[in-house]
Amino acid sequence: MTAAAVPSDIKSLGKDAQLGYSEFQFGGFKFRRDEYFAHVAWPKGTRIIEIDRFLRALVRDIGWQFFYGWIFFDDVFGTQNHYGSVDIFAGSYDGGYKAAGTDFMETFPTDKVVTAFDTIARDWISEGYDPLRAPQETGTPLGSKRAPRKDALVRGFTPAKRMLGLPGDVTPRSDETGHPVNRAFADLKFEQPEVHAEKGFEGQLNAINLFDHIARSDVTWNPSVASITGASIFCVTSEEHMLPVIHGNDRNEWFIQLSDEIHWQIQDKNTGNPRGRIVMKAGDVCAMPADIRHQGFAPKRSMLLVAENGTPGLDELYAKGKLPPYPLDF
Ligand SMILES: [Fe+2]
């Protein structure tokens, strides 16, 4: 395995004359796509991944800034965030690849990986396909290259300038701003809270119906609202179809199911062996341990609150065994 510095700028290896897509090299990895699949190659092996799955993982990995811990695009290929640098790995957390000695890993500065993944995404994603939307709500990524997308591939996070709903809020979601309630939440009633400000505080106090806000999100498995207080991070999202990545935790992560249900498949982080299945229904709370990888499946669009502890160095305490991988002893 290579952890030393590697050539860290992505380069094009040429364009497929028939399909129109470019092939790329980044460090020891090569990336190529055809009409149906992404092909990833490294010095000792190759992997084939459905193109939809690959692109849905790719844009979220960029948008999430590699998130906490591991992002598996499939069971074998993915990234690990070291908060300043990023590993790209193939087979490093798979029992079979490890045993065969065909695993491979390289470490890059974070900004180089962002540039590389963004370059691939822009070349491989055509107009009419949005990997951040639920599969039923966007076009197809299959086939040869069409016109490139002109809008932002990755919805950047828009920081609220004011409490949601107050004058000056830059993130309103309403019919007027082109954010209709998603079809999956058409049966919900959204009562608006009454706000009675003391004299002198008019225009400074507000409350919103959070369900109404989430119901209008046009993306899935991508945070719609995040609140950050110190190192405590709350993310609410709407989730439909499957989490496009398998997330490997480097710390505990709390889930509060706000509506409908999500089925979670949980594996050992290092080997991929099955650890368990959880079906979370509205109101259920669970803590994902720090030593697992997990993937969620939402048969119907649902609402989920994810609580993360962003304390710097927490990942090392878990990695060194100074904290147990679960949050509570009963
Ligand atoms: Fe997770």
- Encode pLDDT of 170-192 as tens digits: 888 899 989 999 999 999 999 99
The count of other CB atoms within 10 Å of the CB of residue 285 is 11
Q: Are residues 203 and 310 in the same domain?
A: yes
In order of 23, 90, 152, the CA distances from 158 in angstroms are 33, 33, 13
What's the whole-number mean pLDDT along residues 50-71?
A: 96
In a domain, 169, yes or no: no
In a domain, 257, yes or no: yes
CA of 294 to the centre of ligand 1 (A): 6
Largest CA distance in the chain: 72
Q: Are residues 188 and 314 in the same domain?
A: yes
CA of 274 to the centre of ligand 1 (A): 16
* pLDDT over 70 at 147, yes or no: yes
> Which residues are found with C-beta within 5 Å of the ion, ligand 1?
247, 253
In order of 90, 250, 256, 278, 294, the CA distances from 323 in angstroms are 28, 11, 23, 24, 20
Least confident piece of the model among 38-47, 71-80, 125-134, 225-234 = 225-234
CA of 21 to the centre of ligand 1 (A): 32
Asked if 163 and 280 count as a contact pair (C-beta separation under 8 A), the reply is no
**Span 256-275, pLDDT tens digits:** 999 999 999 999 998 889 99
In a domain, 177, yes or no: no
Residue type, 80: Q
pLDDT band of 7, cuts 50, 70, 90 = low
Q: Are residues 224 and 108 in the same domain?
A: no
d(CA 179, CA 156): 17
In a domain, 148, yes or no: no
Higher per-residue pLDDT: 190 or 165: 190
In a domain, 52, yes or no: yes
CA of 255 to the centre of ligand 1 (A): 9
In a domain, 150, yes or no: no
Q: What is the CATH number of the domain that holds 251?
A: 2.60.120.10
Q: Are residues 188 and 311 in the same domain?
A: yes
The count of other CB atoms within 10 Å of the CB of residue 99 is 10
Which pLDDT score, from 0 to 100, does residue 3 have? 47
* Sequence-ordered strand ranges (E) for the chain: 11-15, 22-26, 29-33, 37-42, 45-50, 70-72, 77-81, 85-90, 104-109, 225-229, 232-242, 246-248, 253-257, 261-268, 274-281, 285-288, 292-309
Q: Are residues 198 and 72 in the same domain?
A: no
CA of 248 to the centre of ligand 1 (A): 6
What's the whole-number mean pLDDT along residues 289-312?
A: 96
Q: Are residues 200 and 315 in the same domain?
A: yes
CA of 296 to the centre of ligand 1 (A): 9
Q: Are residues 215 and 307 in the same domain?
A: yes
State the residue for tokens 């979370």.
Answer: 280
In a domain, 151, yes or no: no
Average pLDDT, the chain: 93
When mean pLDDT is compared over 151-165, 295-309, 316-330, the highest value belongs to 295-309
What's the whole-number mean pLDDT along residues 43-61?
A: 97
CA of 68 to the centre of ligand 1 (A): 8
Domain boundary among 133, 164, 196: 133
CA of 261 to the centre of ligand 1 (A): 16
The model's pTM: 0.92
| Non-local CB neighbours of 282 within 8 Å, separated by 6+ positions | 257, 258, 259, 260, 261, 302
Tokens encoding 85: 């640098």
What's the whole-number mean pLDDT along residues 243-267?
A: 96
Q: Are residues 119 and 227 in the same domain?
A: no
In a domain, 158, yes or no: no
Asked if 319 and 250 count as a contact pair (C-beta separation under 8 A), the reply is yes
CA of 189 to the centre of ligand 1 (A): 30
* pLDDT over 80 at 133, yes or no: yes
Q: Which of 57, 55, 62 is nearest to 145 (CA)?
A: 55
Parallel, antiparallel, or unpaired for β 22-26 and 11-15? antiparallel
Q: Are residues 291 and 202 in the same domain?
A: yes
Domain limits for position 301: 183-319
Q: Are residues 244 and 123 in the same domain?
A: no
Torsions phi, psi for 65 (to 5 deg): 55, 40
For residue 278, list its beta bridge partners: 264
CA of 254 to the centre of ligand 1 (A): 8
Quote helix, strand, coil % in the chain, to nearest 5: 15, 35, 50
Torsions phi, psi for 298 (to 5 deg): -115, 105
Q: Are residues 289 and 189 in the same domain?
A: yes
CA of 176 to the centre of ligand 1 (A): 34
**Span 8-17, pLDDT tens digits:** 799 999 999 9
Least confident piece of the model among 2-6, 18-22, 204-208, 249-253 = 2-6
In the chain, how many domains are there? 2
* pLDDT over 50 at 22, yes or no: yes
**Span 63-117, pLDDT tens digits:** 999 999 999 999 999 999 999 999 999 999 999 999 999 999 999 999 999 999 9
| Non-local CB neighbours of 8 within 8 Å, separated by 6+ positions | 26, 27, 108, 109, 112
Which pLDDT score, from 0 to 100, does residue 2 have? 42
Domain boundary among 133, 150, 175: 133
* pLDDT over 90 at 1, yes or no: no
Which pLDDT score, from 0 to 100, does residue 82 have? 96
Q: Are residues 96 and 188 in the same domain?
A: no
Domain boundary among 118, 133, 148: 133
Which pLDDT score, from 0 to 100, does residue 275 have? 95
